[in-house]
Structures are given as structure tokens and as C-alpha cells.
Structure 1
Amino acid sequence: MTVHHGWYLLAFHSELTDEITPLAVGPRRLIAVREGDRIRVLDASCPHRGAHLGYGARREGDCLVCPFHGKRIGLGDPSKHWSVAEHRVLEWGDALFVRLSDDPDGNCGGDRDGDRDGDLEGDRGFEQAVKGWEGDYPLVAAVSLPVAVPSEYVVENAFDPDHFKAVHGVPGTRGMTARDGEHGELVIEGEFLMQTSPWQDARTLEEIRWEAVRTGRVRWDFKPRFHAQAFSPNVVVTEFGPEAERQVIVTGSVPTEDGGCIARVAIGVRENQRAALPALLGGSEKALAEDKVVWEHLDHAVTPRYDARDEPVLAFRRFCADFTGGERA
């Protein structure tokens, strides 16, 4: 199991109920520390003897008091004798993202205000992109689900056009080609081919189905745009739908020590589309459950025999290989 550098959708705010919450990315032990409305993420192992600061430590000023020997541990302050590294975080609606690296200051080679050019293990334009989304599309937690599959498979789904039809019943797709983005992110874009918007009321949908039966012709009148950007092997943001109905779907995965992962999905819609949000949240839960059945019954001993339709998947796998330097367990 590899813990890649880069961004993770680490948790939803509903999962961070205490002042100090233990978290993990694979074998990498972390803590989330609440400071009013702000959340900080730091390494969890006490530098004295390795005690987990997420279990029994208490806050005292600008330090945590270790539950094992009572040492005062600084929070991201290397000037102190004992200190744990801090990691860059980003909060967007209900979602907390963390950016991991081997940098001793936990900043992935970038300063607190932005990234240096060429930081391929770091941001990939994520923070700048979020600034463009968060005002109009506040994220709402949709689903958090443990899955017995390596974490990369979760984000890979966005780059696997054929699975949309086979697994989720999407009638068809068009385009769906992958390319490099401006900041080193990986982009795939195309169209879904559908008879009508899935958010139409049930009566309208039934009328369209019966029209197709009567005429023997299926009209693809609804062709929503699909535009997904992977900013790391573990975070992808998808813009879906025509401009008037556009939604933003954030999919993330966090590896677990048993070789599986926690898959999370969050949804953002504009204020005038809030009425559609319950259906979108339910649809996300249904889709992830459908994926889980396939993922958990994969035979990883089979040598893949890719064809031309798999080129976006191969592009994603090459993208993952760029995120070097993570821990391996």
C-alpha cells in the first residue's frame, strides 16, 4: 500500500466531534485539532516515545500534553524541543482536505500563501480551483463508505468511461478524453448521452420513456457536460450538467492500513438548485454502493489486458506514478 503525496479528502466535519480527533492515512497517524472555527492537522506520534496524541492528550496553550509522560508537544513549531509537523489544510463546506508530503514542515514544498513553481508532489492547482467553486457550490457531505479496494480505484472511476454504462446504467458517453491540465492536474471531459435530465419529475420521465416505445426512436435530447479534474491520486472534482443545472461532485479516498480505503463523496449545487440536493445525495450513495460491489470482487491476480477504450485509465495510472515519495506499508 502506498501513501501518496498530495491532497486527501480527510474527513467531513461531522466526523470531527472532539477538540482532538485521531485520524490516519494508511499507516500515517494524524490528529485534527480544533481551534474555534479553524481546524489544524498534524502528525500524531509524540516525538519523545511515540505515544498517539489523539488518545488522551490535552490542550494546554499552544501545546498538547502527551498522555504517556506529560511532555509539552508544540504544534507545528520546530523552534520547540518537542514538536509535531503540521500539514496544509483546506476547508470547503462540510469537507476537510489535507495535503501530505515528506517536508518536515508539512507544507509540500509550498509556502503558506502559495506554491512554488514545479511543485509536482503538491497542490496541482487545487487551492486556486476551490476558490472558484466554494462561493457558488458549498459542499454537503453525501456518503462515507469503507471499501475493500486500494484507494486509487475510487478516483480512477472518473477516468473509466465504459463503467458509467455497465455499472450505473448511463445510456452512453461521447468524447471522454484525458489530458494534462494547466497546473499538472489530470482532466477528462466529454458528454453523457441521455434522453432527459435525471432530475425531471417522475411523470415527465415516464412520458419520455413511453414516447420512445411508441415511436421506436430514442432521442438523446439531454447531453450534460462531464468535466473531471484529478488533483491527486485521491481527490477528483467533477463538474456535471448543463450550466443551468450544474453540480460539483467531489470524490475522495483515504487508504486504510488493511489495504482498503474510506471513500467519500460530497456534492455542491448553486442556491437555485438546492431542491435537487436530496436526490443528488441519494444518487451518490446508490452509485458508490454499486461501485463497491464491483471493487470488492476484483481479482487483483489477473494481469489487465487494456484496449484503446482504457486510455483514460492508463493516463490516470501514469498520473498516480508522479506522486512519489509517500510511505509504503
Structure 2
Amino acid sequence: MLNLSMKPTGWFQIGWSGEIPPGGVKPLKYFGHDMVAFRTDAGELSVLDAHCPHMGAHLGYGGKVKGDCIACPYHGWEWGTEGQNALIPGEERKIPKKMRKYHALERHGIIFLWHDPAGGAPREGWELPDLFANPELPAEPTGFYPCYPDNIVFKPGERIHPQLMTENAADTAHFRYTHNAPEDPVLLNFDTSTPVWKSQMGFLSKRTKEIALRLHARNAGVGLSFTIFEHGVLGRRLVLSCTPVDDDTSDLRVSYYFPRDPVSPDIMPQHLRELSAQTEELFEEDARMWRHQKFRQQPIFAKRDVVGYRALREWCAQFYEAEGYPRGPLQVMEDDM
């Protein structure tokens, strides 16, 4: 049975690159930790513990970037991108005390953070999937409009557990009822042999009963999903994320990448803008379920669901290493059958 804490191991989205320009500072809170993200004048991003070791001021509220450091708004102490003390105003000395630095990386305009409840570094074999270097459907990122700021959804502070979002990877039946799809898709295949779930779903044409749309999914842990839509031409790409803020809430984000229109490669044409505007309602169709859903450890499966769902939950178990933490907003139903 899954322990379902709000402190799973893995990679999680914590924002978009465009939110923090050179010289920018942003306060963050994830997994119960106060953090500060800042970008140096040269463009390097760093994520540190938020509170200055000197007197405990929060660097995310009033802190300023000075070259390749962030300066505390309280007494001006400066800290480098590795968390090292770079300056104590009025003194020549520097203290050996370092602030904790979090492992973060940027890819295609999204900022990802590695979380290990034991404090470990990113692990070999747990690398993030690349939405554009997918071996089945590779594409050049430059062939797509950037996701930020026009093609995103941000829902902060939701009482939603990341496990609920992850279970969409094996759920074929909800598309017709939750999203009004004309036909149920088929889970064509899945692979649980690595910390990245790989699967394909196929949507059948109502007329020909042939596969008209394939969803190629890559799930990196329980809070991060990468999907490619394949339907004959270069399809859109999607990142869906659910990142725990504390033991009660998560931040949810959707990032869409639409193929550039050859007639209007720099400015999204109206039909894509209209499609992008539907993104929030598509998200809400799922979120309305997740906000009020209770989690069944032993569901009553439909026959077509049982193999994929069981495999997915067995795969998810590897990410719940932290013991003894609250399950947050997730209400787990006792087995009363």
C-alpha cells in the first residue's frame, strides 16, 4: 500500500524561467522549506534557503542581486550562487558558513527542482525526460512557440495531492466523461522498468476505428508529466506538474508548446490563441475531480483498467521514501468491501 506522503522524491516544477529575469529575485516555498531563487546579472539561476544565516531575514523579500550574489535586505550580507558568503559589509573576513543550495535546472523555459527528503543529490537514472528530444518524436524546440507567458495555467495553493494527477497516466475511461471525448482511448503500452513511466494511449477515429491520435507520455515521478500529442502532423506538447508546497497544499501548473505557424512564426495566430485560452478549462475539468476526490487504496477496477492502474501504483511506490509524514489533503478511504 502506498504511504502517500507530501514529500516524494524526484524532480518537480517550481516556476518558469521568464518569471526571474537577470537581476531578478523570487521567494518560494516547497516541501515545507522557504527558498529564494535569484538570477545573476550574467543569467545564472540559483535556488538557496531563504533565510540569511546572519539574522534570519528572508532574502526573497527585498533582497537584491549584486553581480553574481544576492544581498540581504537587512544588513547587506552577500551570498553567492553556491550559497557561500561573499561579503560582510565593513569587514574583510568572510564566514565559512554556507546556505543550503538546491539542485535546480532549466529546460525549455521551465524551472525544475530536485527533491530528496534525505537531502541527497539528483540520482543517476532519474534524469528528467526532454520533451523535444523524445526518441520516438524528436523535434527542434525552436519550432514551437514558448510556453511562458501566454500558454500556461498556474493554480497555486491547491489542496490536491500529486498522486491524483499522476494516475491520469493509466486512466483511459475518464476522457469521455470528464473531457467529453467522443471515444475512449486505449492504453496501447506502458513501461515501468525505470523511474520514468513511459506509455502510449490511442484515440480511435469514430468513423474508421483506426488510431487518429496518440498520446506519448513520460512521467518523471509523481508530480511531473510530459505529453506529446501525435496526430499526423507535428503536434503540441504539454508539461503538467503538481508540486507540494507543504503538508496541505500543492502548486499546479500547465505548460503548452504549440508548433509555430509558418505564416506567423513570431506571433501566435488567432486560432492558436483561442486553443490556448481553452487550456485553463481543460485543466479545471480534471481539477474539479481532484479537489474533492477520496483515494481508494483498493479500488473496484473496471476490467480494462486493472493492469495499467496496478502497474502504475506499484511504480509510484518507489518515490514515497519518506516515512511518517502527513498525507496532506488526500483523504484515503478505508477498504470497506
Q: Same fold (TM over 0.5)?
A: yes
CA distance in 2, matches of 1:40, 1:60: 13
1:323 CA drift (Å) = 2.1
TM-score, with structure 2 as normaliser? 0.73
Is 1:191 the counterpart of 2:202? The answer is yes
SS in 2 for 1:223: strand
Give, as a single letter, the amino acid of the residue that structure 2 aligns with 1:81. K
CA distance in 2, matches of 1:49, 1:63: 18
**Structure 2: gaps of 5 or more residues:** 86-95, 263-267, 327-337
* 1:146-185 → structure 2 map (5 Å cutoff): 146=156, 147-180=158-191, 184-185=195-196
Aligned equivalent of 2:105: 89
Aligned equivalent of 2:260: 271
Whether the aligned pair in 2 keeps the contact of 1:251 and 1:266 (CA below 8 Å) is yes
1:68 CA drift (Å) = 5.1
Q: What are the Cα deviations for residues 253-275 of structure 1, in whole angstroms up to 9, with x where unaligned? A: 12232623222111112223754
Q: What are the Cα deviations for residues 188-235 of structure 1, in whole angstroms up to 9, with x where unaligned? A: 21211244xxxxxxxxxxxxxxxxxxxxxx555771111111022111
TM-score, with structure 1 as normaliser? 0.75
Match of 2:143 among 136, 139, 142: 136
Whether the aligned pair in 2 keeps the contact of 1:139 and 1:266 (CA below 8 Å) is no
CA distance in 1, matches of 2:61, 2:103: 19
**Structure 1: gaps of 5 or more residues:** 110-118, 196-217
SS in 2 for 1:161: coil
SS in 1 for 2:15: strand
Is the alpha carbon distance of 1:313 and 1:234 closer, same or farther for their aligned partners in structure 2, counting shifts above 3 Å? same
1:130 CA drift (Å) = 7.1
Aligned equivalent of 2:289: 294
Whether the aligned pair in 1 keeps the contact of 2:40 and 2:66 (CA below 8 Å) is no
CA distance in 2, matches of 1:148, 1:7: 20
15-24 vs 235-244, greater mean Cα deviation: 15-24
CA distance in 1, matches of 2:313, 2:170: 10
Whether the aligned pair in 2 keeps the contact of 1:73 and 1:84 (CA below 8 Å) is no
4-13 vs 55-64, greater mean Cα deviation: 55-64
SS in 2 for 1:55: coil
* 1:1-329 → structure 2 map (5 Å cutoff): 1-13=5-17, 15-16=19-20, 19-36=24-41, 37-48=43-54, 50-67=56-73, 70-77=76-83, 80-93=96-109, 95-101=110-116, 107-109=121-123, 119-120=124-125, 122-126=126-130, 129=133, 132-133=138-139, 134-140=141-147, 141-146=151-156, 147-180=158-191, 184-195=195-206, 218-220=207-209, 223-257=212-246, 259-272=248-261, 275=269, 276-300=271-295, 304-308=299-303, 309-325=305-321, 328=325
Cα RMSD after superposing both structures: 3.4
Whether the aligned pair in 1 keeps the contact of 2:229 and 2:235 (CA below 8 Å) is yes
CA distance in 2, matches of 1:284, 1:149: 19
Give, as a single letter, the amino acid of the residue that structure 1 aligns with 2:152. A
The count of aligned residue pairs is 295
